[in-house]
Amino acid sequence: MGSADSKLNFRKAVIQLTTKTQPVEATDDAFWDQFWADTATSVQDVFALVPAAEIRAVREESPSNLATLCYKAVEKLVQGAESGCHSEKEKQIVLNCSRLLTRVLPYIFEDPDWRGFFWSTVPGAGRAGGEDDDENARPLAESLLLAIADLLFCPDFTVQSHRRSTVDSAEDVHSLDSCEYIWEAGVGFAHSPQPNYIHDVNRMELLKLLLTCFSEAMYLPPAPDSGGTNPWVQFFCSTENRHALPLFTSLLNTVCAYDPVGYGIPYNHLLFSDYREPLVEEAAQVLIVTLDHDSATSASPTVDGTTTGTAMDDTDPPGPENLFVNYLSRIHREEDFQFILKGIARLLSNPLLQTYLPNSTKKIQFHQELLVLFWKLCDFNKKFLFFVLKSSDVLDILVPILYFLNDARADQSRVGLMHIGVFILLLLSGERNFGVRLNKPYSVRVPMDIPVFTGTHADLLIVVFHKIITSGHQRLQPLFDCLLTIVVNVSPYLKSLSMVAANKLLHLLEAFSTTWFLFSAAQNHHLVFFLLEAFNNIIQYQFDGNSNLVYAIIRKRSVFHQLANLPTDPPAIHKALQRRRRAPEPLSRTGSQEGASMEGSRPAAPAEPGTLKTSLVATPGIDKLTEKSQVSEDGTLRSLESTSQQSSADGSPALEDQEPEQAWREQRRLSSASASGQWSPTSEWVLSWKSKLPLQTIMRLLQVLVPQVEKICIDKGLTDESEILRFLQHGTLVGLLPVPHPILIRKYQANSGTAMWFRTYMWGVIYLRNVDPPVWYDTDVKLFEIQRV
């Protein structure tokens, strides 16, 4: 039968279903088989031939028929998994049912009345088919998930058969050890199977259905207190799924082994369309959804000994019940870490590969999924995090992240990407090794829209952060605290900042310490505290190599004097705010000489009007995101959170340790709220933090060095920077500065607020990226809103 006929027959069946008012018996195979037995329809056909309005109509008007359709389609998948899909006909039925369920499931999830449908048992669907078997019948969801898992390791359908001759009886599905059929070499598996286009396409269809099953999470509104276990993920990643380990390994290895450039031959990807990329993308999406696990709240129940002791570390106490999270947290071999890190770095760097031949290399689009995966790896597997920071390989992750941050800074539709990039850097910056690694010279010349400089990776980081703060869009303001916390965390280890980076830091201080900025919001002064803390760390711990920064501080000394003499009387505060109303420019771009941008770079562009984006929940403030630790003499960290009266960097010990509600009332007391509910600063409030500005070290430095520098200029009639810099390079302040303060590090700490943020971000990315077929478009999702820029 031609494909046109088969489409026609399928469409006829759909029309019959939508027009029947009476329930159709489940036993009426002649009717139900029309949907999958004689048709060869692609997933795109199914989406076109089963319109949303018709699915909703059947759901409302003849619910029993929709229920039977789902039940029969699941039954066919279960039969296919049982028999091992030997004939072409069976394979076709499995694919047709899989596409049909992918189409229908979102419409079941969007209706709260149907929510329990897949978790109920179907009468007469006992596990062994006997009459009295009803009480141990599985819920439909479980049967469906187990069938998908079996089908993903089905010889000659989704994996290479190991049988030599065709005469041999087919492999028995039940005795098959799927660990021998892992899809790709890598973690815990050394054999790389022959690539097979058909198997890849079949895996992809089944993974798309699996992702659709998991997507019920999109139809529940974000609830901060929900432990948020997704019952589909919970069951699929439990010991009930005998393929959990090989499937986890297959997904991880498929992603990390993928090389989009393909043997380094330019234009290679144009010769044969790369069918691996859609599978890798699907694998990455399924992986991050199965790893959606709130590490902050999870207890660690025991796992009943079903894990294998090969690539996984058995020494730790048994981890969470979600086996994917469990396996991920127990990977421990150096060569496995190397394979994962190299793979993720290769893929993240791919969009940066600018060769001289336009379009000569394939550009992957799933960097956001990769960043979520990298985050999960670091968050759930501390050994992996330490491995990443042990060598300068971490810079192969840092540079792409800085590239994405810089590129997306003006684009409102990519706020989520900005956040995850910054979160990863915040997590890394809590480890001393990250700061140390940043001293490596930056020589890779990735075309970026930033001033040209010669220096280290630390300079690159500071220059990009400056760009984000001064020329990103308004919605990035909540990230400023995070960006500057990262700078403070790495500052004690930075051996030598370039002149460009030093000037950028001082320009930020200048912008943040204008009176209108300080007085226009309750939290703005924190940014000044962070910058002063970073300067103090560098002066106290890395004075010797940092003559550029010292010189920049001397040149901009007026800024520090202005801060020390900040006006606190009501008329001055009022006047500062008046000035603001006249010039609402967010941050002055002047006073920072922007050099020419790097060659070959494109300016960061805003989103095209009409671009779709998904809303995100608010992220917790920096005090909730991080936990303060003090670095001891021997380099170990001691948490400060337990000691209550620590004065914090933002100089508000009173506010640090109270409940948010109480802290908020305290802020209110120190400032007055006008009738319109607008926040307004008071003298008392300004005094409460002005007295805590950590200016002593810098004031002492200026007191000692300014007269000496002025004397050189007068004596030698100098206007030349190099002479002064040479003097500063050889100067010393030993014994002249206040006693060095202990180094404070603000380490990221897991909390349910960020877990919820990651869930909405991740599903938003998956929603927007699945356009062919558009699995979730125009369904009533509740986890986020769809917005147009």
Distances (CA, A) of 767 to 217, 401, 614: 12, 22, 9
- Is a pLDDT exceeding 90 seen at residue 649? no
- Is a pLDDT exceeding 90 seen at residue 334? yes
454: left (phi over 0), alpha (psi -120 to 50) or beta: beta
Q: What's phi and psi for 350, nearest 5 deg?
A: -55, -45
User: What's the pLDDT at 445?
Assistant: 75
> What DSSP string runs through 225-270?
T-----HHHHHHTSTT-TTHHHHHHHHHHHHHT--TT-TT-TTHHH
- Is a pLDDT exceeding 70 seen at residue 432? yes
- Model confidence at 5, pLDDT cuts 50, 70, 90, reads confident
Q: How far apart are CA 716 and CA 540, in angstroms?
A: 30
> What DSSP string runs through 471-540?
HS-GGGGGGHHHHHHHHHHHGGG-----HHHHHHHHHHHHHHTSHHHHHSSTTTHHHHHHHHHHHHHHHH
pLDDT digits (tens, 9 = 90+) for 113-171: 998 999 988 654 434 444 444 456 889 999 999 999 999 999 888 888 876 544 345 55
- Smallest CA-to-CA distance from 13 within 318, 562, 41 is with 41
User: What's the pLDDT at 357?
Assistant: 56
- Is a pLDDT exceeding 70 seen at residue 591? no
Beta bridge partners, 748, equal 626
* Amino acid sitting at position 269: H
* Amino acid sitting at position 740: P
- Is a pLDDT exceeding 80 seen at residue 355? no
Contact 330, 340 (CB under 8 A): no
Task: List the Cα angle 355/360/366 in 5-degree steps.
Answer: 90
User: What's the pLDDT at 734?
Assistant: 74
- Is a pLDDT exceeding 50 seen at residue 448? yes
pLDDT digits (tens, 9 = 90+) for 186-237: 898 888 888 888 899 999 999 999 999 999 999 998 876 555 689 999 999 9
- Is a pLDDT exceeding 90 seen at residue 449? no
- Model confidence at 303, pLDDT cuts 50, 70, 90, reads very low
Residue 447 in tokens:
């075309």
Of 10 and 363, the one with more pLDDT: 10
Q: How far apart are the first and last CA of the chain?
A: 46
User: What's the pLDDT at 319?
Assistant: 58
Mean local confidence (pLDDT), 687-705? 94
Contact 421, 401 (CB under 8 A): yes
User: What's the pLDDT at 86?
Assistant: 85
User: What's the pLDDT at 648?
Assistant: 41
User: What's the pLDDT at 672?
Assistant: 52
Mean local confidence (pLDDT), 308-317? 53
Query: What pTM does this model have?
Result: 0.89
Quote the mean pLDDT of the chain.
84
Provide the 10 A C-beta neighbour count for residue 199.
Answer: 20
- Is a pLDDT exceeding 80 seen at residue 295? no
The winner for highest mean pLDDT among 3-17, 98-112, 664-678 is: 98-112
pLDDT digits (tens, 9 = 90+) for 703-760: 999 998 888 888 777 667 788 888 888 877 777 888 888 899 999 988 888 888 999 9
- Is a pLDDT exceeding 90 seen at residue 530? yes
- Smallest CA-to-CA distance from 189 within 249, 245, 237 is with 249
User: What's the pLDDT at 582?
Assistant: 55
Of 516 and 563, the one with more pLDDT: 563
pLDDT digits (tens, 9 = 90+) for 369-427: 999 999 999 999 999 999 999 988 999 999 999 999 999 999 999 999 999 999 999 99
User: What's the pLDDT at 288?
Assistant: 96
Q: What is the CA radius of gyration of the chain?
A: 30
User: What's the pLDDT at 255?
Assistant: 96
User: What's the pLDDT at 710?
Assistant: 87
Provide the 10 A C-beta neighbour count for residue 333.
Answer: 15
Mean local confidence (pLDDT), 630-652? 60
